[in-house]
Every structure is written in structure tokens, then in C-alpha cells.
Chain A
Amino acid sequence: MLGTMTSRAPDPTDLLQEALDAAPGGFVELRWHKKQTRGISVEKGRVDNATASEHSGVGVRVLEQGTFGFASTDRLEKGSIVRAIGEARAAARASSRARRERVPDFPSVTLARGKFDAPGVDATLARPIESALEMLLEVERGARAGSSRVTSASTAYAEIYEEKGIVTSDGAKVWTRTVRPEFRVIAIAAKGGEMQRGAESVGVTGGWECLFESKSPAQLAEKAAKQAVDLLDAGYPEGGRTKVLLSPALVGLLTHEAVGHTVEADFVASGSCAAGRLGTRVASDLVTLCDSGASEYRDGAGGTLAVDDEGVATQRTTVIEKGFLRSYLHDRESAARMGVAPTGNARAWEYDDEPLIRMRNTYIAPGTSQLDEMIAGVDDGYLLDGASNGQADANGEFMFGTREAYRIVRGKKGPLLRGVNISGSAFDVLQTVDAVGADFRWDLGSGHCGKGQPAKVDAGGPWLRCEVLLGGRKA
């Protein structure tokens, strides 16, 4: 069938095991990683991108003379892999003099074995790309047709299909297949020389039906176009410290940027604000925050994976339990150093990238409050929605952008205002949480997290009420 992807590679783990057996000695981790991407983008009726790409090979990580060496080969052939093992060992030996604190051998842990398929793989691969193209053209036309003020619109669809075979010298032997589709629509509206942008996006681990389970592409486009048009007439919020209601998408950004990065064990070791605070109160007792390899509460979370790139089965890691910091996020090395079990957070973007400690699906567990009650409980503040970008520092100071703001005065939600960036210190903000909604949504599955390498992650939660610093137009 025209425009479909197929998984041509057989289970690669036997070949990886053969190569590993042919080059014995010390710790060796082999990761066959095949990444196929299909992507289409459309703007104003024109196809800007119609791409099929593949980036595949074997990443080799070794532990030699107390330090790590990494090399890779683009060939899934025994001889190439054995050669790459030799190169990785040579790199480790050549660099070991600079390693001050030698890495001890990894303690024995239970490693994954077997085959793991994420939902939606076969159905997505079999779907012809033409169907996505037709949808994008139609939806983009619809976004422009909704209002004469919409001057431009664009739509994009992309899917990443990944096969990984992971074999380690201490027992991992696993083959995984995952597919992650995503869709985005952007509308530009103009009036009197001013422009505003509306954007909606979704991304999941799963198939097409999962991607559009909550809203159809047309509904997403309609929402983006309306947002762009409405923002033309919207005012600006005032700046300052204020009570806010954060939507699930913004709660996702808060959990990911403000907390998640500071509890990554490599960041903790460098002195992040979470260092030395295990067992202490860091949030109000309404806050339970987790990072999971599974899609908790709702299907399709974009960072879902069964096994991490060190061959460790993923789990749900409770980071904050009822306000108390309980765990960091670990790879095998950091877990060994801190004397705990690895949490399955080692992830590599492509075969020629080494695994780093990364989040998966990070969230605040739902509470019991209803949204209307939460609004009614605000005397003077804002309701914020629509996640833009976000960043956080080691000291927990975070920034993230919102697309929409609504003033709340004496429990009543007012008209739309332009989005703003908000800031705060992670644990200070979480201490101010005084209401947690009962609904739950994943809302950060499109796009990527950046930490040297990209990673597909997701984050979400319920509506949350807390205090932050708002960067408004008036000081």
C-alpha cells in the first residue's frame, strides 16, 4: 500500500547477544534503535513537508576501567557491532585518567526480558500517509474559513515509530516497539496591523483513534482559530504575585519543569534544590506527584514506555507523597550510588545517543475539588490555560508560558486576556496549593523535552489552585 510503513526488522536481540558473546569482558550494553518518522505539514493549502525518514543503528555503552565509553554503528551486523564495542572500550580507556570517582560495577537488579509492544503500533504503521495528508489539507482550509480575520493557518502531522532491542552483559534481553503520533494546528489572525496566534496540539503513545479521542482535528482547528481571533481584542493581565487556577496542561508544565527536572538524580547530585530533602515537606499535603512509564488514569500518555534504555522495566515512581519528597528519578548508575533501585528513567533519543535520566509521564494525582468550586473560591486572581514553552533552573525557579488568561474577581470568571509567562520557585509554589481538581488529563504529549537530547514525554494532572508570579504588561 502506498505511503505505509512496515516493520521489516526481525527480533534483533539474538544477533545482539551473538555480538556481545563474541566480545566478552566487563559491562556491555547494546541497543539496536530503529527510528522511522513520517511527517507532513501544510500551510495555506501548500504542502511544505512530506517526509519519510529512517535513522537506525546500534549504540554501544561499556564500563571499562571505572568509566563509560560509548560508540555506535549504523549497521545491524555482528562484525560492525563487535568493532563498535572495541571502539567504546578504547574511548573509555583513553579517558579513564580523567575519571576521579570510578564507577563501581552495577549491582545486580532484575532486568527486563521479552517483547513489549505499545498500543497502536500495527494499526498506525498500516495507515496510509495519504489519509493524514487529506485530513491536514481539509482541517487547514477549515481553520482559515472560520473567520475573515484568520490570515494564515497551518497543520502538521508526524509519527515516530521506534523499535529497540536491548541486550546487556548482565541479563537484559528485550525488544520493544512504540509509535507516537502527534498533530498540531496554528492559526494567525490579524486586525489593524496586529497579529495574534492560536495553537492547539496533541500527541500520544498509541494509534490514530487515541490521538483524536478527546477532540477531532476539526475541533482542534476551530479552537485554535477562535483563540487567535479572540486574542486580537483581549487585554493584558496585570503583573504580580497572585492566586491562579492552572489547567491540566499547565499543571503538566509545573510538574515537569518545576519539579521533575530538579528530582532527576543527575541534577540532584549537582546540587539542585531537591538535594538532601528526601523525607521533608516540599508541598501542601494535597499534592502527590508521580512519574510513570505507564499511562496512568487516562490512555495515551506521550511518554509511555515499558522498558527503559538500560533494560530496566519502568514503574510508577512516587516523587512527592501528600507533600513529602519520597524519591528521585534514577538510572542504574545514580541508583547504585544512592543505594536504591533504578526507577527506569534512562532514555536515549537515538541509537547514537547515550542514555540520560529523563522523565516519562509526570503528573499530580487528582484530588476531589470541582472546577466551579475552585473558581468560586478565588477572590482576586486568574484562570490560566494553554501551555506554551517552559524552563526551570536547578534552584527550582521555573518559567512557563500560557496562551490564555481570565481574570477572576470575587469568584466570577471574566473575559479572555492575553497569555502571560508565570514564574515561581517549585517547592514554594507547591506549598501554596489549596485545591486539587478531580478531573485528570494528559496534555503535554506533543513536542519534546530538551536536555542535551530531545525526549518524548508527557505530563498532566487535574486543575490546581496555587500562587505564582505573573509577568503582566502593567507593572
Chain B
Amino acid sequence: MSTTTERSRATETLSQRERELELLARCEALVSEALRAGADEAEAFASYAQKAAATFEKGDLKLAHVDEGTTIGLRVFRHQRLGFAATNQVDAASLASAARNAVALATASPADPANRLPDARPIVELPTLVHPGLARLGIEEAVDYGHALVTRAQQFDARLSVDGANASVSRVAQAIHTSRGVRAAESDAMISLSISGMALEGADVGGFHYASDAIRDPARAESALKSLVDDFARTSVGNLAAQRAPTSYQGLVLFSPDAFLDLFVAPVLAASSAIAVQRGRSALGQRLGERIGAAGFSIHDTPGDRDLAGAASFDREGQPARTFALVEDGWLRGWMYNAYAAAVENRASTGHARGGARGVPGLGAHAIAVASGTGGSREDLLGALGRGLLVQRFSGSVDPASGDFSGVAKSSRWVEGGRVSGPLRETLISGNAYQLLARIVALGSESERVDGSARAPWALVDGLTVTAG
């Protein structure tokens, strides 16, 4: 084991590739340890993260945070029984202990014939996700970004109260090594920006709003920051003087890309998990190949989209991550599989194992993109709505089993004559997500980035129940 000083120097001098090789070596050693401890199969997944972050509260710097660390997760199978252990203590004794714990847990678990690791498959590596300009950025730059977030918001409108703003520069590396020959590593680096708060005017406290983005190219940081703050500021100030909706009704509602993803796309993703289908808890489980949505409604997973945070060459199990169609033109096209779900049906994984080093691989999408439609601009969609509700953010819950949802339309606006007439408060919307997919009336002509992690257009949907406060 190296001394602290040696570790520090090593940290400072390791290149991206050297870091990946170091993680691979640790994974390889841990897999060997697990096999010695009695595992039949073993998979080690290591994650290194280095972060410099600045946190601002009520418009002022709160804290400068610098950090780095490595976590290793070990999945083992012994007689087709599952065990998992994870630790951020990477000395030999701790790793040996983790191996023993994982094998002990596997000994206690019941056998499952689908418990086996996947074989290695060719991975098409993305061009590097680490922009060379990011390597030079640290805490001073994070502070500058955070300061710029706050300053721009305050200059936009004096009524804005910035509750919180965060800016961070992070560099991560991930590596996987398994006893079945899977071996892969990849690095990533991001600038993450977020701002939250509300506008205040006298006794009027406007509705809370939040905006965030994540980018890889530092040359785009300034424009991303301006766009983020301006959107946050316009919406927050627009939330002032909110009134109750003039009427309750059932009918058309216009959704922002953010709200559309939360309400309509997230349930489809949950129901498209092959495990959910296999276990009888997917509401779409019997509908593969059927039309579930309106014409033009398409959802793809796009791990090759380097403008989205979830871009990756491989998944949590070292399987290749590829563009995948979940819904095309309203037709349900496919389920997402990780290795476990694939083994149940004796087929190949679709590369949808998700998660980090601290848990058993789960199942999910990387970088969701909802296709744009032919509905035109936001203004065109407002015109198509005519009179009714515009929802920018949904605060509520969608039951993935039934699709029933009910919640508050946040930062919502009343639309009259195809134009926004004012902000609303205490407005509730409800319906059934799966049923309403078929009642998508129009999708906007541009699919917008949402929080740096997905793409979706504005959407006009019919059949919602709107309850005025």
C-alpha cells in the first residue's frame, strides 16, 4: 500500500489512460481475489471521480468543495447465487474483505439459472468524451461559473432570489473486468451548472423554479450558462402574481419538453424494462409490436449522442451501448435488456445495464431522445391549444404500474386566444399516462435538450383533467 504522499503525487500525475489502466488493474486483482474466495464468476466495476464544485446560497458563495475518490463494486455468482459488495477502501485488506462478503452473500442466496455473467462482445468506442480543455479546470473556474450564474440572474431582474446555484467540474473514469473476458474502460468529464430560486415582489413569493445543464466542451460553457440563467430568470419572474385558473376542465394541455418527459416518457421507460415485463409488472407487457401512441411519437435511446450526459460506449456490464428504438411512430418496438433479463430469455443483452460501482447493475436507458414532430414552434402549439393550460414542470407522481398520475402543474400558465395570459397557482392535473399517449395531438418541430441528459419536443396532449385551485 502506498503512503499518502505517494498517492497524492500519483493522483496529480496520472493521465486519463493511466487512470483507466490503474482501475482495470484493481478490477482484475479483485476478480482474482473473488475467484480465490470461492466465486464461480466475478465482475469488478471501478469508478474514479474527481470534482471541484462551488455552491452559492442566497446569491453568495457558500462553499468551495474539492474531492476525489474511487469505489469498486464486486458482483459474484457461486452456484448461480448472487452476492455483491462495494467499498471505497481500496487497500488490499479491504478488497479482500469485500470479496469474502460478496461470496458469503452468494452462499446465502437461492440459486437462479439466469445468474451468469455475459460474454465479451465488441465495443465500438466513442470518440473521447474528455475535452482537453477540461483537464485544466479546477476550483477557481467552478467558482467563476457559479459567480457568473448568480450575477447574470441578479442583473436580469432585481426581483430574483437565487436560492441556490452550483457549478462543478468533474472528471470520471470507469472500468470493468470480468472472469468471462469483459474488459473495458472509459473516461468522461463534464461542467455541470444549476440554479434554483424564485422571484419576490412585496409579499408575493413566486413559484420556485430550477434549471440545470451539463456540457463537455468548455468553449460552450458561456453560451450554455447564459441560456440556462435566462430561461430560469424569465420563468421565475413570470411566476409572480399567479392566479387560480379561471376554470377546471378536461381537454388539451401543452407540456414543456421537461414535463412531457416526466409524465409520458418516464412511464414508458419503466414499462419497457424486460425485467418488468418478465415479472408481470409492466403495463405494456402484452403490447410489443402494437401501437401505443399517436403517429409521430418515437422514443430512442441514443448513447452515442455526445451532447447528452449519458453518452457511453458500453453499459454497466461492459456490453456495447447502441442506439435503440423503444417506440417508433407510435409503435412499441422493443424491451430493454441487461444480462440478467437476457439470460432469462436466452438472448443477448441490448446494453441497458445501468448504475454505478455501489450497486448491482440495474436496467435503464442511457440518453433518451423523443423525436420532434410537425407541430411547429411553441407559439404554433399555443395557437393550437387556443384556451387552456401550459405546464412547464410537473410535481407529482406517476404510478408506473397503472399509469395513473396526479400532481401540481408548476410554473404553469393560462393560455387564452393562443397566447399566454398569465401565471397560475395551485393547479392540478391528472390522467393516465399510457392511455394519453394515443391522445398526443401534436409534437413540436424541435427536440430540445433537457437538463443536458435527454431530448424532447413540446407536446400538446388531449384528455387531461385540470383542476383549478
Which A residues are within 8 Å of any B CB, using their own CB?
2-3, 43-57, 61, 67-75, 77, 79-80, 83, 87-88, 90-92, 94-95, 97-101, 129-130, 133, 137, 151-152, 188, 190, 193-197, 239-241, 266-267, 269-273, 352, 354, 388-389, 391, 393-397, 399, 401, 418-421, 423-425, 452, 469-475
Q: Is B58's CB under 8 angstroms from A52's CB?
A: no
In the complex, what's the smallest C-beta–C-beta distance from B122 to chain A, in angstroms?
29
Q: Is A51's CB under 8 angstroms from B467's CB?
A: no
Q: Is B397's CB under 8 angstroms from A421's CB?
A: yes
From A44, A50, A272, contact of B279 by CB (8 A): A44
From A88, A271, A423, contact of B469 by CB (8 A): A423
In the complex, what's the smallest C-beta–C-beta distance from B384 to chain A, in angstroms?
21
In the complex, what's the smallest C-beta–C-beta distance from B430 to chain A, in angstroms?
5
- Find chain A residues with CB under 8 A from B407 CB: 399, 401, 421, 471
From A49, A188, A469, contact of B467 by CB (8 A): A469
Chosen A-B contacts, 9 in total, with CB atoms closer than 8 Å, are A71-B66, A91-B64, A151-B281, A190-B280, A271-B163, A394-B198, A397-B207, A397-B426, A401-B396
C-alpha gap A36/B16 in the complex (Å) = 30
In the complex, what's the smallest C-beta–C-beta distance from A155 to chain B, in angstroms?
13
B8 at the interface (CB under 8 A from A): yes
The stretch of B27-35, B79-87, B222-230, B448-456 that contacts the partner chain? B79-87
B243 at the interface (CB under 8 A from A): no
- Find chain B residues with CB under 8 A from A473 CB: 430-431, 465
Which B residues are within 8 Å of any A CB, using their own CB?
3-5, 8, 52, 54-55, 57-67, 69-71, 73, 81-90, 94, 98, 101-102, 104-110, 112, 114, 139-140, 143-144, 146-147, 161-164, 166, 197-198, 200, 205-208, 248-250, 279-281, 283, 286, 358-360, 395-397, 399-402, 404, 406-408, 410, 425-426, 428-431, 465-467, 469
C-alpha gap A73/B7 in the complex (Å) = 11
From B83, B89, B205, contact of A54 by CB (8 A): B89
In the complex, what's the smallest C-beta–C-beta distance from A356 to chain B, in angstroms?
9
Closest residue of chain A to B399 (Cβ to Cβ) is A197
In the complex, what's the smallest C-beta–C-beta distance from B160 to chain A, in angstroms?
10
- Find chain B residues with CB under 8 A from A399 CB: 395-396, 407-408
C-alpha gap A55/B406 in the complex (Å) = 37
- Find chain A residues with CB under 8 A from B88 CB: 54-57, 74
In the complex, what's the smallest C-beta–C-beta distance from B96 to chain A, in angstroms?
13
From B52, B104, B395, contact of A2 by CB (8 A): B104
Asked if A152 meets B426 with Cβ closer than 8 Å, knowing A70-B63, A194-B402, A395-B206, the reply is no
C-alpha gap A150/B359 in the complex (Å) = 28
The 3 closest A-B pairs by CB, nearest first: A471-B428, A239-B467, A475-B248
Q: Is A272's CB under 8 angstroms from B426's CB?
A: no
Asked if A424 meets B426 with Cβ closer than 8 Å, knowing A197-B402, A475-B467, the reply is yes
C-alpha gap A230/B147 in the complex (Å) = 54
- Central interface residue in A101, A133, A397, by most chain B CB within 10 Å: A397
Closest residue of chain B to A47 (Cβ to Cβ) is B109
C-alpha gap A266/B67 in the complex (Å) = 24
In the complex, what's the smallest C-beta–C-beta distance from A199 to chain B, in angstroms?
10
Asked if A475 meets B60 with Cβ closer than 8 Å, knowing A49-B360, A239-B248, the reply is no
C-alpha gap A48/B109 in the complex (Å) = 10
In the complex, what's the smallest C-beta–C-beta distance from A469 to chain B, in angstroms?
5
C-alpha gap A336/B112 in the complex (Å) = 57
Closest residue of chain A to B84 (Cβ to Cβ) is A51
C-alpha gap A44/B340 in the complex (Å) = 14
Q: Is B396's CB under 8 angstroms from A269's CB?
A: no
Asked if A53 meets B358 with Cβ closer than 8 Å, knowing A193-B286, A420-B406, the reply is yes
- Find chain A residues with CB under 8 A from B63 CB: 61, 67-70, 354
- Find chain B residues with CB under 8 A from A73 CB: 4
Q: Is A133's CB under 8 angstroms from B3's CB?
A: no
- Find chain B residues with CB under 8 A from A43 CB: 279
C-alpha gap A467/B188 in the complex (Å) = 50
- Find chain B residues with CB under 8 A from A88 CB: 66
- Find chain B residues with CB under 8 A from A269 CB: 57-58
Q: Is A471's CB under 8 angstroms from B280's CB?
A: no
C-alpha gap A388/B402 in the complex (Å) = 15
C-alpha gap A336/B407 in the complex (Å) = 38
Closest residue of chain B to A240 (Cβ to Cβ) is B467
- Find chain A residues with CB under 8 A from B465 CB: 239, 471-475
Closest residue of chain B to A49 (Cβ to Cβ) is B360
C-alpha gap A72/B68 in the complex (Å) = 8
Asked if A129 meets B397 with Cβ closer than 8 Å, knowing A55-B88, A68-B64, the reply is no
Asked if A394 meets B205 with Cβ closer than 8 Å, knowing A72-B67, A91-B64, A354-B63, the reply is yes
Q: Is A87's CB under 8 angstroms from B85's CB?
A: no
In the complex, what's the smallest C-beta–C-beta distance from B138 to chain A, in angstroms?
8
Closest residue of chain A to B166 (Cβ to Cβ) is A452
C-alpha gap A43/B363 in the complex (Å) = 15
From A83, A94, A270, A395, contact of B64 by CB (8 A): A94
In the complex, what's the smallest C-beta–C-beta distance from B236 to chain A, in angstroms?
11
Q: Is B65's CB under 8 angstroms from A354's CB?
A: yes
C-alpha gap A337/B66 in the complex (Å) = 26
C-alpha gap A44/B71 in the complex (Å) = 31
- Find chain B residues with CB under 8 A from A61 CB: 63
Q: Is A270's CB under 8 angstroms from B197's CB?
A: yes
C-alpha gap A188/B280 in the complex (Å) = 8
C-alpha gap A266/B248 in the complex (Å) = 36
Q: Is A50's CB under 8 angstroms from B147's CB?
A: no
- Find chain A residues with CB under 8 A from B431 CB: 473
- Central interface residue in B88, B102, B425, by most chain A CB within 10 Å: B88
Q: Is A418's CB under 8 angstroms from B112's CB?
A: no
From B55, B87, B206, contact of A53 by CB (8 A): B87
C-alpha gap A393/B242 in the complex (Å) = 14
Asked if A195 meets B360 with Cβ closer than 8 Å, knowing A394-B163, A471-B428, the reply is no
In the complex, what's the smallest C-beta–C-beta distance from B431 to chain A, in angstroms?
8
C-alpha gap A73/B66 in the complex (Å) = 10
C-alpha gap A357/B75 in the complex (Å) = 36
Q: Is A80's CB under 8 angstroms from B198's CB?
A: no
C-alpha gap A66/B372 in the complex (Å) = 50
- Find chain B residues with CB under 8 A from A418 CB: 404
Closest residue of chain B to A190 (Cβ to Cβ) is B280
Q: Is B66's CB under 8 angstroms from A91's CB?
A: yes
Q: Is A52's CB under 8 angstroms from B102's CB?
A: yes
In the complex, what's the smallest C-beta–C-beta distance from A431 to chain B, in angstroms?
15
C-alpha gap A74/B89 in the complex (Å) = 7
C-alpha gap A241/B62 in the complex (Å) = 40
